[in-house]
């Protein structure tokens, strides 16, 4: 798993738009960053405006009480990069077929390192439920991943692969919990799958 390129202007512009709609009700470092970005953009200082928005986005995310998700998608194969995935066609999985999930967690802490780099990472807990929502299996700390970069990533993604060999045909819910490696934050999501005969 690799982080996307550091530049995330579309996400930063969306933050500016949301803060502009909030008007004077929005207060704090994120709103201040959006106002500064607008001023810089009016002066034609595009790169500096993007940097201001980026700083505001980080200020906002640093206050996140939990990990959230901007995308959770069943995919046909592992992602090639941030947002570079192929959704899986609807239909049952073959018995033994890997179940792949693309996720975009937000609210993970980027831990600064002594060498000036940043490390982000998470662990995944999985609970498998049958059609009646009964727990038929659990795997705490099923997988872990982390990435180090010289800049704090604005976006982060994960390609999760679940190999549920031994499950008989039926409908299942996969409850996944992402636990941030650098804080006490966590967040959960569920996907429903059908395993065919």
> Taking a C-beta distance cutoff of 8 angstroms, is the pair 113, 148 a contact?
yes
What's the sign of the alpha-carbon dihedral 97, 98, 103, 105? positive
* pLDDT at position 21: 42
Query: Which is more confident, 23 or 75?
Result: 75
> Taking a C-beta distance cutoff of 8 angstroms, is the pair 181, 123 a contact?
yes
* pLDDT at position 154: 82
- The model's pLDDT over 176-186, given as tens digits with 9 standing for 90+, comes to 999 999 999 99
* pLDDT at position 197: 62
Q: How far apart are CA 57 and CA 54, in angstroms?
A: 5
21 three-state secondary structure: helix
* pLDDT at position 112: 93
pTM of the predicted structure, to 2 decimals: 0.80
State the average pLDDT for the chain.
86
The tokens for 44 are: 């034609």
Q: Which residues of 68-91 are buried (b: 16+ CB within 10 A; e: fewer)?
A: bbeebebbeeebeebeebeebeee
Strands 170-180 and 111-112: unpaired
Q: What number of residues does the chain have?
A: 197
Over pLDDT 90: what percentage of the chain? 67
41-58 average pLDDT score: 93
63-67 average pLDDT score: 93
- The model's pLDDT over 106-144, given as tens digits with 9 standing for 90+, comes to 999 999 999 999 999 999 999 999 999 999 999 999 999
In order of their start, the domains of the chain are 9-61 (no CATH), 68-195 (2.60.40)
Q: Tokens 């810089």 belong to which residue?
A: 40
Q: How far apart are CA 67 and CA 27, in angstroms?
A: 22
147 alpha-carbon distance from chain centroid: 13
* pLDDT at position 24: 43
């Amino acid at each position: 798993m690799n982080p996307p390129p550091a530049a995330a202007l579309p996400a930063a512009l969306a933050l500016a738009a949301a803060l502009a709609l909030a008007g004077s009700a929005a207060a704090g470092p994120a709103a201040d960053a959006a106002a500064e970005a607008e001023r810089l953009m009016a002066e034609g200082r595009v790169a500096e405006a993007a940097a201001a928005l980026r700083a505001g986005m980080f200020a906002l995310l640093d206050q996140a009480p939990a990990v959230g998700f901007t995308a959770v998608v069943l995919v046909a194969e592992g992602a090639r990069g941030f947002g570079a995935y192929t959704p899986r066609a609807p239909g049952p999985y073959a018995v033994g077929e890997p179940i792949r999930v693309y996720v975009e967690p937000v609210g993970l802490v980027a831990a600064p390192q002594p060498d000036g780099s940043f490390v982000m990472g998470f662990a995944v807990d999985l609970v498998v439920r049958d059609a009646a929502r009964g727990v038929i299996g659990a795997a705490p700390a099923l997988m872990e991943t982390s990435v180090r970069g010289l800049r704090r990533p604005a976006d982060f993604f994960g390609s999760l692969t679940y190999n549920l060999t031994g499950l008989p045909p039926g409908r299942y819910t996969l409850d996944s919990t992402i636990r941030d490696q650098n804080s006490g934050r966590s967040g959960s999501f569920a996907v429903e799958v059908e395993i065919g005969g």
